[in-house]
Amino acid sequence: MAADDDEIWTDEKAGRLVRPYTVSNGRTSPTNKLDLLSMVKATGRSARAQLDPDLALALHLCHDPTPVVEVAAHLKLPAVVTKVLLSDLIDCGAATTHAPRPAADPTDRSVLEALLHGLQQRL
């Protein structure tokens, strides 16, 4: 089933009908180190048709580099469950991520300059 024509199974009032941990087979520990802002990108090396619907949809959402937190919001799943799904995609080669980055350094002037410049352009 392709992700494009597969809606998340939800009920307007009850929300998601499949419980979050069912999606991750009860797992809460992803095999890869991912944080909320880790960027994940589809590699194009896996046929989505072979994946479970939630995995296929997660992969579809990562067509461009997308952070864990955005995938979680679109899947309507807790971030920790989303990390498990994305980790599975990384393990099977369907997606890739960058090496863990050190936490953003609030004293890194190049980052601050980029932000300041970018924000001022929006004023």
Partner 1 sequence: MAYNNDSEAFPTAVKILIAGGFGVGKTTFIGSASEIEPLSTEELITTASVGTDDLVGVEDKSTTTVAFDFGRITFASQHVLYLFGTPGQDRFWFMWDELCTGALGAVVLADPRRLDASFAAIDFFESRGVHFLVAVNEFDGAFHYEPEEVRAALKLDPRTPVVLCDARDSRSATTVLVALVQSLFSAARPT
Q: Got the DSSP string for 37-74?
A: T-EEEE-S-S-GGGS-HHHHHHHHHTSS-EEHHHHHHH
CB 47 within 8 A of CB 90: no
Stretch that binds partner 1, among 8-16, 44-52, 55-63, 66-74 (CB under 8 A): 66-74
Q: Is 46 in the site for partner 1 (CB under 8 A)?
A: no
Angstrom distance (rounded) from CA 108 to CA 63: 30
Shortest reach from residue 95's CB to partner 1, in Å: 9
Q: Is 36 in the site for partner 1 (CB under 8 A)?
A: yes
Q: Is 49 in the site for partner 1 (CB under 8 A)?
A: no
Two tokens at 72?
Answer: 């979680």
Shortest reach from residue 96's CB to partner 1, in Å: 4
Shortest reach from residue 5's CB to partner 1, in Å: 23
Tell me which residue of 36, 29, 11, 24 sits closest to 103, measured CA to CA: 36
Radius of gyration of the chain (CA): 17
Q: Using the rule CB under 8 A, which residue among 4, 15, 49, 106 binds partner 1?
A: 106
The residue ranges that bind partner 1 (CB under 8 A) are 28, 31-32, 35-37, 39, 41, 65, 67, 69-70, 72-74, 76, 78-80, 90-91, 96-99, 101, 103-104, 106-109, 111-112, 114-120, 122-123
